[in-house]
Amino acid sequence: MSATPMPKGVKVFAWIMLVWNLLGVAAFFMHVTLSPDALAQLPAEQQVLYENIPVWSTLAFAVAVCCALAANILLLMRNALALPLFVLSLLGILVQQYYNFMVVDSLGVMGPSSLVMPALIMIFALALIIVSHRGKQQSWLS
């Protein structure tokens, strides 16, 4: 383990992000197990978007949340492998959001509020990368 202690604020942030990333994994499982009844409750335009999600976008979602969760655990264990996994997670996020906003018009279908969650996801992903990078530089990740 590293000789330099992890700053207390970083520990608190990492624990909060662990909960966030667990919620991301839960959201993924809800996404892939959405029942036909639940799908029928969505507005027609959203049903069409949901029914046509390609496998590659779903895989990107899986990579994003699984890598983020694993990286977060490694961050709490003070393991420097957290950084490349957070970067891989960010790549998954970018692929998924490319589909949502460039391939299909999620913004047009769901409105400006559809930007809030992706923006939060991106901010937290970048923050975790920055924290992990700093941890490697300051030797509290090894």
Query: What pLDDT sits at residue 111?
Result: 82
Query: What pLDDT sits at residue 30?
Result: 94
- Global pTM value: 0.92
CB 46 within 8 A of CB 81: no
Query: What pLDDT sits at residue 61?
Result: 97
CA of 19: how far to CAs of 6, 10, 16, 73, 94, in Å?
19, 14, 5, 11, 21
Per the structure block, which two tokens stand in for 44?
């027609």
Task: Report the interhelical angle of 55-76 vs 8-32 (nearest 10°).
Answer: 150
Query: What pLDDT sits at residue 94?
Result: 97
Dist. CA 80–CA 11, nearest whole Å? 15
Per-residue pLDDT of the chain (142 residues; tens, 9 = 90+): 557 899 999 999 999 999 999 999 999 999 999 999 999 998 888 888 888 899 999 999 999 999 999 999 999 999 999 999 999 999 999 999 999 888 888 888 888 888 999 999 999 999 999 999 999 999 999 9
Dist. CA 110–CA 88, nearest whole Å? 28
Give the list of residues 6+ apart from residue 95 with CB closer than 8 angstroms, or none. 56, 57, 60, 63
| CA neighbours closer than 13 Å in the CB half-sphere of residue 24 | 28
CB 56 within 8 A of CB 97: no
Per the structure block, which two tokens stand in for 73?
């655990």
